[in-house]
Structure 1
Amino acid sequence: MPSASRTYLVTGAASGIGEATAARLRAEGHTVIGADRTIEAAGVAIAADLATEQGRAELAARAREFAGGRLDAVIACAGLAHFTPDTLKVNYFGAVATLERLRPLLAAGTDPRAAVVASVAAVHPSDPAVVDAALAGDEAATTTAAQSAIDRGEGYLLYGSSKAAIARWVRRTAVTPDWAGAGIPLNAIGPGTVLTPMTEGMLADPATRQAVDTAVPMPLHGYARPEQVAPLLTWLTSPENTHVTGQLLFIDGGAEALLRPT
């Protein structure tokens, strides 16, 4: 029997995992409010740059307007993989702002659920100063620490640091009164290498592709397509998920098991 129609907000809805997830939800009969940096893409109703405070405020205000004051689920897919502080601004602070500011709309929804896209990179080496500053909620200090990493030639640590930080934020936040206490499961997923516009350039270069494959070995079926990741997000944010919360669920073809066998 088909599930009742629900109202979802999906960030990063213009491409990749966000686009595939929004398409799957719409195909199942749900209402999806898509958000991205511009509204030029089909299915995107809210333009918001989550690297900025103005964009985060705009997302929250427009979401309340479009949703009529209630949401049943939020899926934060927006992300960057640049060797710049913006990676932390979007992947961590933008994601946290999305989830925290839309939580009141979820509290008014039916069987509310939330999920965020992290990455198997959460288990890669990270910069402790960047992660600690992010988890302290200090965006200025995080930007300074990120720039320090770039200046010493370690900008490659920023993506993993952003994903480690958001995974830890989910773990500690999910069990609080505002989330578990309010009946709202909150989880993260950890994809391996997914064929999206973000990875296209990296995989096109043989040397970079080899580095990616070494960092993210995927013995089960190799690279994933976005539509193969979307079902996990849709289940986590469905009424069927009653007890999974605070988790980073890897959907990585076995990469995390190879990288951390014990």
Structure 2
Amino acid sequence: MSERTYVVTGAASGIGAATADHLAAAGARVIRCDVRAAEVIADLAVPEGRERLASQVRAVSGGRIDGVVAVAGVGLPSPLTVRLNFFGTLATLEGLRPLLIESDRPRAVAVSSLSAIVAADERIVKACLALDEEAAAAAAAAAVEAGRGRIVYPSSKLALNQWLRSAAVASDWAGAGIPLNAVAPGVVDTETARRTFLADPATSDLVAATMPQPLGFPGPVSAIASLLAWTVSAGNSFMTGQILYADGGAEATLNS
């Protein structure tokens, strides 16, 4: 069995770095992509960065990859979150799909979020699904201006989930033999989480109450990395269009 080649975006830190390390430790070739400290430097929040990702990955991979792990994202109360989390992720998946087709066992996965089931802004989600980036950014800006900036992140992830469920079973993905799934983490112990809210007891307690995780809060990053790695492994040959909640039981608790 030949060595598999994977592309991981957001690979300079957090879940992306942990996943890239996990895949590399298992013997895979990993093309790490980020805005810094990566083999491919590309800003997926802008069109030219998305084009650069596709062209640079094609160049360094030799024209064939076996898996894409689209992790890159931010949680800011800003239109940037929509541009990166939704449109940057779609550009990653669609831009690299021609290279996946060259593999005999291609796979792709995106990172979603448990927060997508908690709250969302309909205008942001609708504009994303219409593939109207400027309208989605404007809706996000309006939410921020109205004091609802925290809703931008879950809205971007809900839109991603809905797009993925439809795309995964269409001719470009399932029809081409490419399983496409998403992993939706709960709150895990990343540097970003520690810096933004885990360090503040009041904020941490509020998040824990909103997204209760019976298996522990925060969860381990390694658990997310290993699940992402499995979804793009050769062994995942028959699962597609799924949103896998790796959240310590939060989704089950909230929906029970």
Task: Output the TM-score relative to the length of structure 1.
Answer: 0.95
Structure 2 residue 176 is the aligned partner of structure 1 residue 178? no
- From 203, 210, 218, the counterpart of 1:215: 210
Shift of 1:207: 1.5
Matched, 1:232 2:230: no
Amino acid at match of 1:52: V
Gaps of 5+ in 1: none
Aligned to 1:143: 137
Q: 2:148: which partner in 1?
A: 154
In the comparison of the two structures, how many residue pairs are matched? 255
Give the letter aligned to residue 7 of structure 1.
T
Match of 2:200 in 1: 205
Task: Give CA deviations for 1:236-260 in whole Å, capped at 9, x if unaligned.
Answer: 1111111110010000000001111
Whole-angstrom distance in 1 between the partners of 2:171 and 2:84: 26
Is 1:91 aligned to 2:89, yes or no?
Answer: no
The DSSP-based 3-state class of the residue aligned with 1:90 is helix
> How far, CA to CA, are the matches of 2:146 and 2:11 in structure 1?
34
The answer to whether the aligner puts 1:23 opposite 2:21 as a matched pair is yes
Q: Is the 8 A contact 1:9 1:33 kept in 2?
A: yes
- Runs of 4 or more, structure 1, over 6 Å off, are none
- Equivalent AA in structure 2 for residue 204 of structure 1: A
Contact 2:34 2:40 (8 Å CA) reproduced = yes
Cα shift at 1:110: 2.5
Q: Is the 8 A contact 2:188 2:217 kept in 1?
A: no
Q: Which residue of 1 aligns with 2:43?
A: 49
Report percent identity of matched pairs: 48
CA shift, 1:226, in A, is 1.6
Q: 2:10 touches 2:17 (CA, 8 Å); kept in 1?
A: yes
1:101 alignment partner, one of 89, 92, 95: 95
Q: In angstroms, what is the RMSD of aligned CA positions?
A: 0.9
Q: Check conservation: 1:114, 1:186, Cα contact below 8 A.
A: yes
Contact 2:181/2:241, CA 8 A, preserved across alignment: yes
User: Kindly tell me: are residues 103 and 12 of structure 1, through their superposed partners in 2, closer, same or farther at Cα, counting changes over 3 Å?
Assistant: same
Q: 1:210 to 1:221 in 2, by over 3 A?
A: closer
Unaligned 5+ runs, structure 2: none
SS of structure 2 residue aligned to 1:156: helix
Instruction: Report SS of the residue matched to 2:51.
Output: helix
Residue type of the alignment partner of 2:118? H
Partner of 1:169: 163
1:176 match: secondary structure: coil
Q: d(CA) in 2 for partners of 1:66 and 1:109?
A: 15
Give the C-alpha shift of residue 4 in structure 1: 3.9
Question: Which residue type is aligned with residue 10 of structure 2?
Answer: G
